[in-house]
């Protein structure tokens, strides 16, 4: 009898949604997530005890008040509040670690409604079919500008060249089983780039293609400067090849410099040397630029080592909607 009950047991799903200043879009998308959850419950794919977990990432607006109000109306809505803003990746990590010992499976998604919520049904089907990780992959980038589309494609190719294992056109819309999350808990990086870390875990995986829509309401929290920093952070978090490239570049520049020295000696010996400052200035500026670039890249890695060595908490949960505040786990 127990064996039969285990076979018929439906997986308990937690949908983890980071939120930062989302007071405009959250009242619109929260019912959409709830409807999708109910659809999967009604079709006997997941347990009725499944939940939608909102992670408030230190919002300065009324996002937390909206989350707490939702949790009072419907028990399927729950929320946690970070003590301060720590960024999207840390907020997502906080939600996943909160879910790993409670749920059988999690699906992470953004709050803005751009990811196709209906794709969760196919993700759950693939999980039931044996996949421990299911990546949501954009089928096209037609909603992006030409600049964003071309730079995104270039970035994914660059990551692959750097040796980072990433899924093309995948962001943070993914399913992970509790087994995967428990293994992922052993990854203690302070500098998080989840879309590059998750493939390192292994286990059977699959993909679900979907069409990404325009943001339903509000404005994006990722302007071009943040996107550039996030992209560079992803490269330096996953690969040490930039350091190797510095060494190769240094060897190449040294070789060119040696050739220049030989050339200068030959000209001096033949008496055809031309006195001038233009060539000298060009060489000094070129070498100075290479040196500063190299020092900057090395400094980025040294800075990451400095932060990792401190072992500071990646998130601190200050409040939950489903029980009075206690001293919370610091991840």
In a domain, residue 35? The reply is yes
- Whether residue 301 is found in the same domain as residue 168: no
Least confident among 141-155, 205-219, 293-307: 141-155
Give the pLDDT confidence score for residue 315 in this predicted structure.
79
SS (H, E, C) 74-135: CCCEEEEEECCCCCHHHHHHHHHHHHCCCCCEEEECCCCCCCCCCHHHHHHHHHHCCCCEEE
Q: What is the pTM assigned to this prediction? A: 0.72
* pLDDT higher than threshold 80 for residue 161: no
In a domain, residue 234? The reply is no
Give the pLDDT confidence score for residue 26 in this predicted structure.
93
In a domain, residue 235? The reply is no
Number of continuous H segments (helices) and E segments (strands) in the chain: 11, 8
- Whether residue 289 is found in the same domain as residue 147: no
C-beta separation of 235 from 155 below 8 A: no
| pLDDT tens by residue, 188-221 | 877 777 877 888 888 899 999 988 777 666 565 5
**CATH number of the domain to which 202 belongs:** 3.90.550.10
- Whether residue 166 is found in the same domain as residue 101: yes
Which residue range is the domain that position 256 belongs to?
Answer: 241-310
Average pLDDT, the chain: 78
* pLDDT higher than threshold 80 for residue 137: yes
Pairing of strands 77-82, 51-56: parallel
Q: Give 66's pLDDT tier (boundaries 50, 70, 90).
A: very high
Across 317-326, average pLDDT: 74
How many residues make up the chain in this entry? Answer: 331
- Whether residue 255 is found in the same domain as residue 163: no
- Whether residue 210 is found in the same domain as residue 266: no
- Whether residue 115 is found in the same domain as residue 263: no
C-beta separation of 328 from 95 below 8 A: no
In a domain, residue 130? The reply is yes
Number of domains observed in the structure of the chain: 2
| pLDDT tens by residue, 23-33 | 999 999 999 99
Phi/psi of residue 181, each to 5°?
A: -65, -40
User: How far apart are alpha carbons 308 and 296 in whole angstroms?
Assistant: 18
Q: Give 235's pLDDT tier (boundaries 50, 70, 90).
A: low
- Whether residue 61 is found in the same domain as residue 172: yes
Phi/psi of residue 83, each to 5°?
A: -65, -25
C-beta separation of 176 from 198 below 8 A: yes
- Whether residue 104 is found in the same domain as residue 136: yes
- Whether residue 141 is found in the same domain as residue 268: no
**Rounded to 5°, angle at Cα 144 from 138 and 149:** 80
User: How far apart are alpha carbons 46 and 128 in whole angstroms?
Assistant: 10
- Residue 276 has what DSSP assignment? -
């Amino acid at each position: 009898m127990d064996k039969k009950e285990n076979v018929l047991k439906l997986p308990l799903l937690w949908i983890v949604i980071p939120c930062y200043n989302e007071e405009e879009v959250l009242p619109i998308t929260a019912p959409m997530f709830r409807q999708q959850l109910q659809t999967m419950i009604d079709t006997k794919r997941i347990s009725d005890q499944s939940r939608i977990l909102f992670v408030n990432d230190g919002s300065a607006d009324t996002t937390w008040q909206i989350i707490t109000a939702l949790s009072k109306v419907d028990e399927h809505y729950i929320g946690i509040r970070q003590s301060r803003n720590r960024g999207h990746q840390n907020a997502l990590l906080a939600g996943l670690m909160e879910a790993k010992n409670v749920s059988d499976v999690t699906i992470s998604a953004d709050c803005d409604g751009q990811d196709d919520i209906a794709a969760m049904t196919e993700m759950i089907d693939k999980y039931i079919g044996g996949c421990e990780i299911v990546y949501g992959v954009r089928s096209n980038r037609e909603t992006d500008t030409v600049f964003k589309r071309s730079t995104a494609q270039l970035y994914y190719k660059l990551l692959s060249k750097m040796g980072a294992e990433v899924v093309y056109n995948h962001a943070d819309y993914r399913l992970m089983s509790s087994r995967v999350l428990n293994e992922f808990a052993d990854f203690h990086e302070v500098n998080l780039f989840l879309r590059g870390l998750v493939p390192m875990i292994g286990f059977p995986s699959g993909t679900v293609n979907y069409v990404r829509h325009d943001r339903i309401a509000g404005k994006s929290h990722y302007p071009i400067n943040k996107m550039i920093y996030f992209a560079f952070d992803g490269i330096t978090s996953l690969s040490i090849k930039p350091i190797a490239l510095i060494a190769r570049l240094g060897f190449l520049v040294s070789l060119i410099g040696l050739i220049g020295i030989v050339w200068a000696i030959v000209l001096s010996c033949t008496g055809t040397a031309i006195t001038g400052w233009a060539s000298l200035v060009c060489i000094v500026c070129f070498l100075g630029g290479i040196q500063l670039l190299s020092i900057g890249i090395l400094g980025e890695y040294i800075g990451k080592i400095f932060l990792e060595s401190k072992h500071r908490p990646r998130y601190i949960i200050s409040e939950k909607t489903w029980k009075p505040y206690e001293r919370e786990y610091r991840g």
